[in-house]
Amino acid sequence: MSVLKILCIVISIAYVASGSESGFCETPDECTENSRGCPGQSHFTGKRYILYNVNPAEGFNLRRDVYIRVAVFLRRLIERDKEYQWQLVLPPWGNLYHWQSRNIGSQERLSWGTFFDIASLQRYVPVMEMYTFMEEYSCGNREVQLDRLYILQNDEEMFKTGKFEDKNELVDCDRGSLRYHELEQHLYIGPFWGYHNVTVRDVKCLKFHGMAHDLSQNLMPMQYRSIMFDRMEIALHDEYGSKEYWRARRSMRYNSELYDIAEKYRKIFLNSTNVNDNTERPADWTKEKNRRNARGGPYLAVHLRRRDFIRAHKESVPTIMDTALQLQKRMDRLGLTLLFVATDAEQYEFEELKSYLPQYKVMKYVPSDYVINKFKDGGVAIIDQIICSYARYFIGTHESTFTFRIQEDREIIGFPLKTTFNKLCKTDEDCTIDGFWSIVW
């Protein structure tokens, strides 16, 4: 038995003797008959689990960005801490603002495998679905009790003064606005992704400002086996825009069936195939190479964001008529006659756009009943993004994370910069590009 394990057992005995209920009893990592008799989450193993959640108002594509922050944080943690087997538990998806389809069944507690290739993610860091974690962590017990939850909070004083500095400070929680409630000692309930059988033993509020890696001092793996961070969007990127950022981003391949659906649509409606378009990619993202010679299918793709953006970004969102004028100018310049539109616009707005562009074939993806019921609104949005990412030329919406993710995919595929970083302007007049979000290899 290692010195570390002996020390942990001694600490655990001291914990139990002092009246705490969070001591460890020694069992192997696998579930066994003996481990099933070990109280709740109290058995000693080498595995440590990190869970996280974000502000409920955040959308699908911002949440993808938060995943990269956590994944890079975990990878660095694994590199420097060999004592434990760190695992990242993927937070289920559910009930986001743009997921408004009805009559397609529940859009709660959706697994990451619905949208992403889990094996591809695991080539970067050890990740697991929530249902896998619940089975493994509780050894088949129905109730799952996490050890500690940190709720990250901004330091509002910094935003008032403009003087920002690193901060990692435990503070008293405002119980009136707390989303987690103590039923009894060492038992808190809360919005754990819609699961009612998940609780936590201890909740702490953490006034935080800094990079994600600064959270490592709060892990305490000799004491806690599972740690959850809520409001993880507050933590900043450790490696924003670096080679490591792009490695994590490249690992985020979509569910292979979503690629197949998009590829079939491109072939039938847009005369686009990977062979003809020079957009073939290796099955394994680690085998990708730096290039700038992707040609793309013979169509222009535009992401036309409407709905909340009309109000929130009215200074940059064009009218439908101005959108059509800008698209017509670009289509004529490129000599293209096929236009693919990814949009959250109402159908009457899409029809209005088409009416201004009668000389072009204007398309948008309409999912079959099979697709919408299996992959939900999130999967349909990804299909839109895939189709846009393979176009010969792409125009996005200013400050939209939906557009950002398409631009990243196009950078990974290997398109020339000038075909990717274009945006709709407020009017038909040319507007400046904000810059290039170039991939680093």
Indicate which residues carry an active-site annotation: 58
pLDDT digits (tens, 9 = 90+) for 92-151: 999 898 898 989 999 999 999 999 999 999 999 999 999 999 999 988 788 999 999 999
Flag whether pLDDT at 6 surpasses 60: no
Query: Residue 428: is its pLDDT beyond 90?
Result: no
Please tell me the predicted confidence (pLDDT) of residue 430: 67
Kindly state the average pLDDT of the residues 414-422: 97
The pLDDT confidence band at residue 39, using thresholds 50, 70 and 90, is very low
Report pLDDT digits (tens) over 23-36: 444 444 556 544 44
Per residue in 385-409, pLDDT tens? Answer: 999 999 999 999 999 999 999 999 9
Instruction: List the domain boundaries for the chain.
Output: 47-243, 254-424
Task: Please give the CATH number for the structural domain made up of 254-424.
Answer: 3.40.50.11350
Is there a common fold for 47-243 and 254-424? yes
| CATH, range 47-243 | 3.40.50.11340
Q: HEC states along the chain?
A: CCHHHHHHHHHHHHHHHCCCCCCCEECCCCCCHHHHCCCCCCEECCEEEEEECCCCCCCHHHHHHHHHHHHHHHHHHHHHCCCCEEEEEECCECCCCCCCCCCCCCCCCECHHHCECHHHHHCCCCEEEHHHHHHHHHCCCCCEEECEEEEEECCHHHHHHCCCCCEEEEECCCCCCCCCEEEECCEEECCCCCCCCEEECCEEEEEEECEHHHHHHHCCCCCCCEEEEECHHHCECCCCCCHHHHHHHHCCCECHHHHHHHHHHHHHHCCCCHHHHCCCCCCCHHHCCCCCCCCCEEEEEEEECCCHHHHHCCCCCCCHHHHHHHHHHHHHHHCCCEEEEEECCCHHHHHHHHHHCCCCEEECCCCCHHHHHHHHHHHHHHHHHHHHHCEEEEEECCCCHHHHHHHHHHHHHCCCHHHCCCECCCCCCCCCCCCCCCCCC
pTM of structure: 0.90
